[in-house]
Structure 1
Amino acid sequence: MSEIFIWLNDQLLRMQWLSDLVTLLVRDGFGLDVTGRIGGSVHFFIYDVIKIFILLSVLIFTISYVQSYFPPERTRRILGRHTGLGANILAALLGTITPFCSCSSIPLFIGFTSAGLPLGVTFSFLISSPLVDLASVILLASIFSWWISLAYVLVGLVLAVIGGTLISRLNMEDQVEAFAYNSPVIDHGNETLSRGERLSFAREQVAEIAGRVWLYVLIGVGIGAAIHNWIPEHLISALLGQDQWWSVLVATLAGIPMYADIFGTLPIAEALVAKGVGLGTALAFMMSVTALSLPSMIMLKRVVKLPLLIVFITIVTVGIIVIGYTFNSAQHLFI
């Protein structure tokens, strides 16, 4: 049974068949040695780009079909029935079925706030939505392993719940801009979609999200190919090696100015780990890019006042750093 699972994992998630085909293309079609720098870079780029877009299309289609049963107003009603820690946990879980970047989550944050949901609950959703989604589970498993993937999702949810809970305890409702409380909430009542409409919605989501992230995927894979085949391992180890105490701090801060999502950062994390960078350091970089990118913080600043923004950034940054060092110390359990 385990052999069947390993075979399915290799062929369906890791797409070993695709890697073999790309090897033939690079070697026989381009006349390049896949073990060399140029050939290895070309193989890494073609293989990762195709694999990511295949998985991305299938996953987003499936997730979006499921998501069609949970429009914003229905999500708001579900969250409105719960209070306290249970509401934060539910908000974090619901955030996992919204495969969007942090900028896309902010309009929903405004909708939840205007609907009267507790501030801590909306922040649990805001942290979880870009950081952890169902697609990230599959993509992480395809690159690393199922254990790493599930552990990443778990710590992401814990961070979302703790972050939202802490913010709710600080009673900072007055630090949200007034217009966020007064924005109209559109409720379509019990309107239901037909199967055809749900399929159409899922196809539109695939096209929309792929159109939004394709450039970041290409950039991320390109950077990953360069790290994997061109940057000497000793240089990366000197800056981000697992034995360097500052590696997680540097990786977290380096990710903040960037703007991408998990689909674009995963190839970089894959290349860093292959070069000997600690798993926690690579994941800290990935989480920082997806949850704390500068463009997202600029957009969030239009919704919340500076003190609340600082609290949010501090909580998420500290959480990512703790997660990074935890994964580094427990790396032997995963790799």
Structure 2
Amino acid sequence: MFDWIQHIADWLIYNVFSIGADTHLGTALNFFVYDTLKILLLLFVIVFIMGIINAYFPIEKLKDYLHRKKLYGLEYFFASVFGAITPFCSCSSVPLFIGFVQGGIPLGVTFAFLITSPLVNEVAIAMFIGMFGWKVTLIYAGSGILLGTIGGWLLGKLNLEPLLSDWVKTILDKKIQQKEFEEEKLTFSQRLPDITRSAWDIVKGVLIYVIIGIAIGAAMHGYVPENFFGQYLGGGQWWTVPLAVIIAVPMYANAAGIVPVIQVFVAKGVPLGTAIAFMMATVGLSIPEATLLKKVMTLKLIAIYFGIVTLFIILSGFLFNVLL
């Protein structure tokens, strides 16, 4: 889907700047260019689409329906499943998170998507089947969806909306523009300039956070050796699971990129459950993601979100080691 962006990154770093593909600098810069272009494009397209939906779709009715109807947690499950079928990493999921919040979707439901989206996707599932078989794959995918469902439900019960950033609250206040669209019954071509301008304003608002976050991830991607982690996680002691998760949180990679690393971990004696917990923490939580989320959440909300998801991943790691 994004191969053309990868070609641009390869051409720019390896041909224009003549930096070797086998060097740490080349790997880091290629990663930075690719992910920056991809995430900014995703951010603009998703926010643009949400702008169109907000202009035409009665999002307030959907929000009221989710608050009013007793769905017995199914709204969190559906959001988690939607996250599982979207091929996004943790940072790429943030634009959709912004779109959901902007659209008035309940925060807990939005969190259910944000948790699951980077953890489970079709590419990772296909790779898991080939490397570890169906049993491991089903446990991995099911636990990722369950983690998103329970995590989203718990975060939703904490009434965390006041901890959203002032920037998000300002965006939500601009709902008045949507009402003006409806009252004036403007055509799509008449609404398009305002929708485009609004999407671009949001992109500009998070641009610095995108660049800083991806730069951190690129440095880690290019300079942190894989062997550094494998040699400390293979003992099988109880503390290796939380250690694996704590080590993984500062890193940044998508599921497709980290699955082959997990295979190496297992081949070197790291318990499979510990390895999967490491993968979940790497793709589901990261410093770059926290940097991006800083634009839409207060530090307290980021700490609550990271803390709950980290705890759940650690518990999942212990469970995996028992089942696998």
TM-score band, normalised by shorter chain: 0.5 to 0.7
2:276 alignment counterpart: 283
5+ residue gaps, structure 1, are 1-67, 192-211
The alpha-carbon deviation at position 246 of structure 1 amounts to 1.2
1:123 alignment counterpart: 111
> Match for 2:292: what amino acid?
M
Superposed CA offset, 1:37-57 (max 9, x none): xxxxxxxxxxxxxxxxxxxxx
Bigger relative CO (Cα 8 Å, ≥ 6 apart): 2
Match of 1:103 among 87, 91, 116: 91
Q: Say if 1:242 and 1:328, in contact at 8 Å, map to a contact too.
A: no
Say whether 1:293 aligns with 2:281.
Answer: no
> What CA distance in whole angstroms lies between the structure 2 residues aligned with 1:128 and 1:319?
12
> Match for 1:260: what amino acid?
A
> Match for 1:244: what amino acid?
Q
> Match for 1:265: what amino acid?
I
5+ residue gaps, structure 2, are 1-45, 179-187, 189-213
Q: Say if 1:236 and 1:275, in contact at 8 Å, map to a contact too.
A: yes
Say whether 1:252 aligns with 2:245.
Answer: yes
Count of aligned positions: 232
Which stretch has the larger CA shift, 83-92 or 153-162?
83-92
The alpha-carbon deviation at position 108 of structure 1 amounts to 1.2
Distance 1:242 1:79, change over 3 A: farther
> Match for 1:297: what amino acid?
A
The alpha-carbon deviation at position 79 of structure 1 amounts to 7.0
> What CA distance in whole angstroms lies between the structure 2 residues aligned with 1:298 and 1:322?
25
**1:163-174 aligned within 5 A:** 163-174=151-162
SS of residue in 2 equivalent to 1:302: coil
1:325 alignment counterpart: 318
SS of residue in 2 equivalent to 1:240: coil
Distance 1:324 1:303, change over 3 A: same
Distance 1:79 1:256, change over 3 A: farther
> What CA distance in whole angstroms lies between the structure 2 residues aligned with 1:74 and 1:95?
19
> What CA distance in whole angstroms lies between the structure 2 residues aligned with 1:133 and 1:123?
17
1:5 alignment counterpart: none
1:204 alignment counterpart: none
The alpha-carbon deviation at position 134 of structure 1 amounts to 2.1
The alpha-carbon deviation at position 236 of structure 1 amounts to 5.1
SS of residue in 2 equivalent to 1:243: coil
Say whether 1:132 aligns with 2:135.
Answer: no
Say whether 1:94 aligns with 2:82.
Answer: yes
Distance 1:74 1:129, change over 3 A: farther
TM-score (norm 2): 0.62
What percentage of aligned pairs have identical amino acids?
Answer: 39
**1:40-79 aligned within 5 A:** none
> Match for 2:118: what amino acid?
P
The alpha-carbon deviation at position 97 of structure 1 amounts to 2.0
Superposition RMSD on alpha carbons, in Å? 3.6
Match of 1:264 among 257, 261, 276: 257
> Match for 1:293: what amino acid?
S
> Match for 1:254: what amino acid?
I
> What CA distance in whole angstroms lies between the structure 2 residues aligned with 1:267 and 1:173?
38
Distance 1:263 1:311, change over 3 A: same
Q: Say if 1:240 and 1:251, in contact at 8 Å, map to a contact too.
A: yes
The alpha-carbon deviation at position 242 of structure 1 amounts to 5.2
SS of residue in 2 equivalent to 1:109: helix
SS of residue in 2 equivalent to 1:171: coil
SS of residue in 2 equivalent to 1:124: helix
Superposed CA offset, 1:200-252 (max 9, x none): xxxxxxxxxxxx9xx98xx69x966xx5xxx9xxx956x32353111111111
Say whether 1:154 aligns with 2:142.
Answer: yes
Q: Say if 1:114 and 1:182, in contact at 8 Å, map to a contact too.
A: no
Superposed CA offset, 1:290-317 (max 9, x none): 0111111111122101221111011110
> What CA distance in whole angstroms lies between the structure 2 residues aligned with 1:259 and 1:160?
19
